Amino acid sequence: MSKTQYAQLSDHIEVDPITHIDPKSLLGHWINSNPYTNSIARINITEANGKLQLQVFAVGPDGPIDWGTATADVFSSNPASSTGAGFTCIYDFGFAEARFQAMIMKGLLVLAQFHTFKDDSNRANYFLREYYSMTQEHF
């Protein structure tokens, strides 16, 4: 019996192997399209030492809360592409964890957030999806 080399037709391609996914399309300063969000207001995405870096700013009672930087894994839109089209990332706060999945769609960064509480607070885990537009503003 032969071993399956792909799980769906889009996985089956005949090209030279992709050795690096270029994250340039993801880099920049992204601002939430919802000015009334109570979640993540802004995201800086940079590249350092060949790795995608996120710096998240959440909404706080006295202004933005800087979550610091986290390394993200970059994904292309298909196995034959070397252009970055999305990423995953995890912020671990000890008491809680935020997992991100993001993609570029129609010029917007679509961010799916999966929030899990690891303490004994009895708060429900939750999912949130928000949309971010590129801005020239530096924060």
Distances (CA, A) of 8 to 40, 78, 85: 34, 11, 19
Quote the pTM value: 0.85
Q: Which has more pLDDT, 115 or 49? A: 115
Residue 79's SS3 state is: coil
How far, in Å, CA of 114 to CA of 128, rounded? Answer: 7
Concatenated DSSP letters of the chain: -PPP--SSGGG---SPPP---B-GGG-EEEEES-TT-SSEEEEEEEEETTEEEEEEEE--TTS-EEEEEEEEEEEESSTT--BEEEEEEEEE-SSEEEEEEEEEETTEEEEEEEEEE-SSS-PPPEEEEEEEEEES---
pLDDT at 137 over 90: no
What rounded mean pLDDT belongs to the chain? 90
The one-letter amino acid code at 90 reads I
pLDDT, mean of residues 10-35: 84
Q: What is the CA radius of gyration of the chain?
A: 17
How far, in Å, CA of 84 to CA of 90, rounded? Answer: 18
pLDDT at 103 over 90: yes
pLDDT at 7 over 90: no
Instruction: Look at residue 87 in the predicted model and tell me its pLDDT.
Output: 98
User: 16-135: which CATH architecture?
Assistant: Beta Barrel (2.40)
